[in-house]
Amino acid sequence: MTTLGSNRRVPAHLADRLLDVRRIYHERDIERFPRARQVLERYPDAERIEVLSHQAIPGLYGNAGNVADWVRNKREVLVLGEKKSLSARRNERSSDWIAPSTANGCAMACSYCYVPRRKGYANPITVFTNVEKITGYLERHAARQGPKTVPNQCDPVDWVYDIGENSDCSVDALVSDNVRDLVGLFAGLPNAKASFATKLVNRELLSYEPRGRTRVRFSLMPDETSKLVDIRTSRISERIAAMDDFVEAGYEVHLNLSPVIVHEGWLADWAVLLDQVADSTSERTRAQLAAEIIFLTHNEELHDVNLGWHPSGEELLWRPDLQQAKRSQSGQWNVRYKSPWKGRWVQQLTDLLAEKLPECRVRYAF
Ligand code: SF4
């Protein structure tokens, strides 16, 4: 462990594996925010480059072709900016609300990830530094909702806010205390909980005090598949091994079974994975589990980019024999598994989950 500013202890090997920050783009006067000062102090040797806006950085975004650069950027670049417009968006699938982001971008590089598509491919982590404004907004928003009176698939009792739609909070927590602040906020809210999906085990989070008010959704898929498409993430066995520890530390732990990638023998691989979860977790963990199941969607443009840097993953992700295409509003071709096959596969995996982990309810599957 390494101590880095503000008494935080960060797992050094993890931070070193994912990040080697050499350049920090920041908006003007960013040091007026304590959170910006924290990040800048953490990387004192990084070159600082002032930019007009965190969204418009010449030479950083918009280059789908130069894959080597955008993967390197994930490791070497951070962006500091102010989140200007704050709003919580209705969701109603995994969460009731999508919270305004305290970060976007990711240091990992899953080949099916849609975040780089939105952000112009190079998507290093942007840290939003006005975190007090964001937590204040969330506190007032939750207070306005009052008690949740109608249980739904997100949660039977609490309003659920997704705090990691455009990033992975376990990585964000390596860079700043934004996630710690969010977990602390929700620990004190009577009617709301935070939720995020993750593909990284960051044990620093075990030192926070979530008091049951933050849900961590560990993202799982069969290991052999994960090795091909989950780039720079924690291995599946490590994620499963962390589940009990997160429950013991006061988190609610759920499963994010996604993306489900269909190939010859896929269901047998999922049986092995679910057996591993059942065999490696405590009764207490299994009793509080719930899962969301999301089958893969893919995109022609992302497929073309991936062929340039990671073609073996595309053999799994791009299966025209199994997929059907739909033109998106932006004119892109998105693909998903053909109906009615997909409906049958959803049912097969849901049945398998009921057999292997009978305690685990399915929040939704599609
Ligand atoms: S961990 Fe999540 S946000 Fe990061 S690259 Fe993978 S899918 Fe994208």
CA-atom Rg of the chain in angstroms: 20
pTM, 2 dp: 0.95
pLDDT higher than 90, residue 13: no
Give 165 Cα–ligand 1 centroid separation in angstroms: 10
Indicate if ligand 1 lies below 6 Å from the C-beta of 199.
yes
Give DSSP secondary structure letters for 256-308: EEEEE---TTHHHHHHHHHHHHHHHS-HHHHHT-EEEEEE-EEEHHHHHHHHH
Mean pLDDT, residues 342-366 taken together? 98
Mean pLDDT, residues 175-202 taken together? 98
Taking the CA of residue 105 as reference, the ligand 1 atom at the shortest distance is 3
Strand partners, 51: 27
| C-alpha torsion 33→190→162→97, nearest 10 | -110
CB 235 within 8 A of CB 226: yes
* Span 248-291, pLDDT tens digits: 999 999 999 999 999 999 999 999 999 999 999 999 999 999 99
Indicate if ligand 1 lies below 6 Å from the C-beta of 106.
yes
Task: State the pLDDT at residue 203.
Answer: 97
Helix, strand, or coil (residue 255): strand
Give 364 Cα–ligand 1 centroid separation in angstroms: 21
CB 306 within 8 A of CB 122: no
Q: Percent of the chain, pLDDT > 90?
A: 82
Give 19 Cα–ligand 1 centroid separation in angstroms: 15
pLDDT higher than 50, residue 6: no
CA nearest ligand 1 atom 6, residue:
110
Among 54-58, 115-119, 287-291, 308-312, which stretch is predicted with the lowest mean pLDDT?
A: 115-119
Indicate if ligand 1 lies below 6 Å from the C-beta of 110.
yes
Number of H helices, E strands in the chain: 14, 18
